[in-house]
Copies of this chain bind each other. A is one copy, B any other.
Amino acid sequence: MSAALDNAELAEAVRMLRDSAAGLASRGGDRRRVRALRFQPPGFDPAVLAAMAEQGWIGLLLPEQKGGAGLGMTALCALAEELGAALAPEPLVPAMLSGSLLAAAGADMPLERLVAGEALVLAAWQEAPSTLEAPGTPGAPRLFIPQAGGASAFLVPVRQAQGLELWLQPAEGAALQLEKTQDGGFFGTLRPEGGALLGSIGEDAVADALEQATLATAATLLGVMDQAFVLTLDYLRTRQQFGRPIGSFQALQHRAADLQIQIALSRASIAAAAALLDDGSTSRAARRAAVSRAKARASDAALLVTRQAIQLHGGIGYTDEADISLYLRRAMVLANQFGSAALHRRRFAAEAHDDMLGEDAA
């Protein structure tokens, strides 16, 4: 973990990650690629996912002895933000989630292939919408598997008397249904059946892996809203109406200021949660509260910013051909993944300690 890195080393690692992200999927540049992949199975480019694996990103969080980069959440959040800004449709965060589960179950072989980009294994853990619980009900349909059409196999947690087991079910022959998503990808519903037992896995390991995926999703949303805002500011500066740039109208300026504050709050909240997770010494409750706060903020802010981005673009914002619409669609897909804002507010209320409060009040 990043505890091994000092601040300067971490900052350098983050800078390098952002640079390589820009090489593979630049913030501003590849919306043509995104459009070309939309609604065409599997909804992403396997070659790009393989290139991401080559960069070491699927193994980013894994320790070096497992073939990983040994980096932490601060690094992952930077990477996720860049890929969010670039609207990269490749399922990197789901692949990393699988990596964490495989590592926890000690399943070295599939892990090696996943990390190397040779096989896309996707976790089929979810049995209800907007949840962070993986009950592992035998036979229950597994829902909302992102970009499921591109998987070579699925990881299915199954509850047995003695605890959770992790099963590997090949995609070939699986009862899998795909549904198109707003951003051009595909959610899969899997009816789990057969496959091979990989090993048992602890509840805490599953919870931690989902915690990491949640925060990485918040960071992805940060990239989405940030880049949508950049495009919107460009539009406000250049689009003329009533004889002047619309960005000179005070009501729109004030709205832009409010959006900027929401983006800044999201960024600060995500960075603080990442630092907390990387610290390792904090309690599980504190980590859960921080992650929930970051995800709730990012989900609400991303929908607000992308919605307002459409509004500020006026008529053109409501066309499918305007790139700004791609950001709204991505935000719609990610906002409730790994828990809606409402779920995370409830979790925060249950977990957070009143650290700012109380001591000074009579």
Contact = CB atoms under 8 A, between A and B. Distances in A.
Interface of A: 249-251, 253-254
Nearest to A253: B251
6 contacts: A249-B250, A250-B250, A250-B251, A251-B251, A251-B253, A251-B254
What copy number does this chain have within its complex?
A: 2
A189 to B, nearest CB: 23
Contacts of A249: 250
Contacts of A253: 251
Contacts of A250: 249-251
A251 B249 CA distance: 8
Contacts of A251: 250-251, 253-254
Nearest to A254: B251
A102 to B, nearest CB: 44
A301 to B, nearest CB: 21
A251 B254 CA distance: 7
A18 B33 CA distance: 68
A250 to B, nearest CB: 4
Between A249, A253, A254, the greatest number of chain B beta carbons within 10 A of the residue's beta carbon is seen for A254
A250 B254 CA distance: 10
A253 B252 CA distance: 12
A254 B253 CA distance: 13
A249 B254 CA distance: 11
A27 B153 CA distance: 75
